[in-house]
Amino acid sequence: MPGGRGSKGGRMVAEFVKTGLKEEGFAKAPSLARLLFLAEKSVRRWAAADFARLSLWTPVAIGLGAGLYFGLKAEPHWGWGAGAFALLACLFLLQSGPFRKATAALMFVSLGFVAADLRTARVDAPQLTRDLGIVETTGRIISVEESARQRRYVLAVEAIEDVAPEALPARARVTWRGEGFDARPGDRVTVLAGLSPPPPPVAPGAFDFARQLYFKRIGAVGFAVTAPEIDRAAGKSFSQKLAARVETMRLSLAERIVGSAQGQGGAILAAIVTGKRGFISETSEAALRDAGLAHLLAISGLHMGLATGLVFFIVRFSNRRVQSSSKFSFPRFRIHLGHASLRSLFAS
């Protein structure tokens, strides 16, 4: 109310912020005024120090945009994100000063939104809408996951009995628990399998397997009742031969690691190097989850190699004078920490 306590307090806050930090004024000012003044000083100090390094927040802004996309309840029109990005890009080119940086932040948020939308559209493929029962399925093997009890392989589907060509899923994941499996990645096979749509979450908010399989372009899952019958006369394109060769090398390397390093240590090492997790027992996988180390199994050999190479070249070509004068070298600390973690992991 005008002339009341609220108006008087507001004038005191404004006067305090205006006059600055004075010892006698700071002591006599109300707690709200002191809090606002300190907050303003902190923001100004942060802005002066970090405005020149706002580019480091670019991945955060892009990730925020992708998170906004996946948080929507319905699929948005593709023009929303593209239009927002184009508009913000134009404003970025026309503006200057702090508004330019704020526009850049919003532009990268919209870029993350567009990237997530494009990724979703790129992997879009038909999915089964009903259980098919036991049907004859023909396709080419893309990958194989082996374990002591079963083999799980992914097929690039070419034909499914009683399914129209336009409704065929791009890929199907099939599990085989019998003997006589001699198919390799790249082989064209025919198998009798019970296929069904990817399973939904078992409870609201639980892990969504259907969503995970969607981004792998897997639109059908099931179990095989016969071993894959290989079509020896089927030819392969160059890309299929190359992909099959790479997958075969990964599988052979994983088998060799498991054969050389006995026990579950070899299985974990094979999973980290090749990404093949089928050799890890359920007990070991549960122990890794309980210890908070299950994320190590999700790191492929390529990612670990790139990270190791990056750290190596940072250490190798960084300024030697700066390193010699510093008591703490963060890259070296990361190397020693990672080495110690892996040694303790495999020792157990």
Question: Residue 97's domain spans which residues?
Answer: 9-122
Helices 301-317 and 264-274 cross at an angle (nearest 10°) of 70
Predicted confidence at residue 11, as pLDDT, reads 52
Helices 98-122 and 58-70 cross at an angle (nearest 10°) of 50
Give yes or no for a contact between 134 and 192, defined as CB atoms under 8 angstroms apart: yes
- Same domain for 225 and 271? no
In a domain, 187, yes or no: yes
In a domain, 240, yes or no: no
d(CA 263, CA 277): 14
| Tokens describing residue 129 | 């809408």
In a domain, 42, yes or no: yes
Output the CA torsion sign for 77, 82, 87, 92. Answer: positive
Domain count of the fold of the chain = 3
Please, is 331 exposed, middle or buried when counting C-beta atoms within 10 Å of its C-beta (0-12, 13-18, 19+)? middle
In a domain, 202, yes or no: yes
- Same domain for 116 and 64? yes
- Same domain for 296 and 324? yes
Predicted confidence at residue 120, as pLDDT, reads 92
- Same domain for 41 and 110? yes
- 3-class DSSP state for residue 226? coil
Provide the residue-wise pLDDT of the chain in tens; the chain has 348 residues.
444 444 444 454 455 444 444 444 555 555 666 677 777 777 777 766 666 677 778 888 999 999 999 988 888 888 888 999 999 999 888 877 667 878 888 999 999 999 999 999 999 999 998 888 899 999 998 888 877 677 888 999 999 988 888 889 999 999 988 777 777 888 889 999 999 999 888 888 788 888 889 999 999 999 999 888 888 777 777 777 787 788 888 888 888 888 888 778 888 878 877 777 777 877 887 887 788 777 666 655 556 666 777 887 787 777 554 545 544 444 444 444 444 444 443 344
d(CA 247, CA 241): 10
- The total of other beta-carbon atoms located within 10 Å of residue 104's CB is 20
Predicted confidence at residue 108, as pLDDT, reads 92
Out of 65, 97, 122, a domain closes at: 122
d(CA 135, CA 162): 8
- Same domain for 118 and 14? yes
In a domain, 2, yes or no: no
173 — phi, psi (to 5°)? Answer: -105, 120
- Same domain for 115 and 21? yes
Out of 59, 93, 122, a domain closes at: 122
Out of 122, 141, 171, a domain closes at: 122
- Same domain for 118 and 13? yes
The structure's pTM equals 0.60
pLDDT in tens, 88-142: 999 888 877 667 878 888 999 999 999 999 999 999 999 998 888 899 999 998 8
d(CA 177, CA 239): 30
- Same domain for 15 and 117? yes
| Tokens describing residue 268 | 């974990």
In a domain, 222, yes or no: yes
In a domain, 31, yes or no: yes
Looking up residue 197, the CATH number of its domain turns out to be: 2.40.50.140
Give yes or no for a contact between 189 and 139, defined as CB atoms under 8 angstroms apart: yes
In a domain, 3, yes or no: no
Predicted confidence at residue 197, as pLDDT, reads 92
Q: Which three-class secondary structure string do you get for 56-94?
A: HHHHHHHHHHHHHHHCCCCCCCHHHHHHHHHHHHHHHHH
- Same domain for 219 and 292? no
